[in-house]
Each structure stands twice: as C-alpha cells, then as structure tokens.
Structure 1
C-alpha cells in the first residue's frame, strides 16, 4: 500500500499532511519523518540490504520504503515493527533521536507512531541500550526537604515520568521542573535532586545500569 494512503488511514495525520502540502506543516511530524528516514537508511546500510530486499523482508512495497527513506510521510507502527524485524533491530532504534545529557519530553511531545486501524498511539520515551539493566520504582514525594542523591555507580541513568503533582528533578546544576505526563532522563552518576513542588507528587522512576 502507498505510504500516503497508509497515513490517510490514520485520521490524526490527515490534516497534518494537508498542511504540509500547502507549505505549512507540522514541525514535529516533519522532524519524525526525517529521523525515521535517516534511521532506516543507516540500518539498511549496516545490514547490507538493497531497497528491494529490505522491502521484501518487511512485507512492504519497494515504493513505500523508497518514500519512507526520502522522508515522505509518517509510517504506521506496523510498518516500523516490520522494518525493525527485517533489519534485526528493535523498533525503538528507528524512532529514538540522539540523547542530550539531560533529556526532557513534555506531555504531548515525543516521537509518536499510530496504528493503522486501532485507536492506538505509542510515544517512545527511551530505548534500552545493549547490556543495560533497568529497575523500576514508583516514587511518592511530599513538599519539604528535597531528596538529594549522591552519585550512583558510573554509567547510571535515571528516567522519571511524572504522574501527578509537580517536581524539580535532575542533576543539581541542571534540574528541571516537570508536570504530569512529562518525562526527563539524566545522569545518575552525578549528584541529583528530586524535590516535590506539590503535595502527593507521584512518579515512575527507572534506574538504568550499564
């Protein structure tokens, strides 16, 4: 199926594509398309596959893959899963941008992909690097004395998604304020802080050890 038709079947993308055709466009949509295009080209080159061979393995049309690698449109979750399987890489490697030292994704932001039929949207917050271990915690914090943490083992990264309340989170000198639905990742091997700014602040924290 032509990739434009795939996107038109995902109602939320239709208006965005019309805007782009008029020269306006949605920047996040264009950025995601460019990111996916570069990622697929990179992984295809790494695997030594031609357009024809990759399209065949992924079960998509060669023209669809060619358009995708040109940054045209936004593929569905199913298309990306198929490409990831054909390339032997996780789905996340095709949509995860390079990470800065402290990474914040506000509620409603981030690389989103949509299913073709179901009302289903997936926002990748973070991919797990090879050889890493992740521990998951639920954090409940009240205003008052902040939690100041000493550095954990070298290579530790902390990921925090806030459920309720507001908080100041991150390295002591680079802490950011986050609200419900926001995500932040930062080095856990430097002194860092978690300070609740509202009562009953709840978060999910993932500690990643390499």
Structure 2
C-alpha cells in the first residue's frame, strides 16, 4: 500500500471514528469536499497544510495519518510536503501527558510557509542541523542556526522560513492530552 492509500485509509478511519460526515469534516477544516474524498480514496497527494487542517479538526496529531515510524530508528523514505517544508516522521512518543511527533524536516531555500494553528496548547521546537531557519510567530519569528533551537506555541499561526539557503532540522510537535488528542 502506498503513502496516499495509507493516509487516505487512516483519514477515513479517523473521520468515521469521530462520527463526522465527509461534508462536515470538509466544512470544519476548510478543505474542499472533493479534495477530502480524493485523499480518502488515495487518489490525491496530501500536502502538509491539508493534513494539519484535517488532523487539527479531528483532534489528532499529524502522525495519526502518516506511516508508522520505522522500528530501526531511521526515517522512512516517505514524507509529506507543504509549500516550503518537507517532513518525514521519525518517531512518535506518547505518555500520560502528551503525544510528541518527531520529524526530520527540510525547509526549501528562500521559501516561507505559514502554518495554521494546531490544537490548543500544542508547541513546536526545531533543532537546526544545517542552515539558518526563521521560525515561530509571524510577528516575531526566531532565528536559529546550526546546533541551535527555537520553540514556539503552535496553537496559533506560525511560520517556517529559510531566507539564506536550505535548512535541515529535527522538529518536535507536542500535543498535550488534556484536550481531544488520544
């Protein structure tokens, strides 16, 4: 089963588990009903922005619709891309307080991506491996270079940018469990 098929199957299961119709999930997420139908059927490539819009409404972390991280500790080849960011799920950690997704990310040279708000109290932290990233809140982004990190609230719109060359890093997305996340 390919990435599109797997993502589609998981999206459909989560939607049905939340007792939402295709139309209702489309309305709440702002994703077109036709797009959602094609995603669930494995006939459309998912974008990072679209998957975040859907999983936020479903009250689930992004990893709930992606391939399971490999047991070898190495990132799988399958990733999901947005307008500037490509993310590959490396690890998912869960305890009684939160679920944390760990992604190997690349921010494209000269690109900027604005991400919509995630579920309440979600935070993100980027550890930069190479390049210089501009990340965080749109009105006050933080700069982080190789070996540095930045952390920001992700329950509000936030940005990723690579103004001076491609950036490689490790992104941690923490979803507290006192909300709708399971």
Q: Normalised by the size of structure 2, how large is the TM-score?
A: 0.49
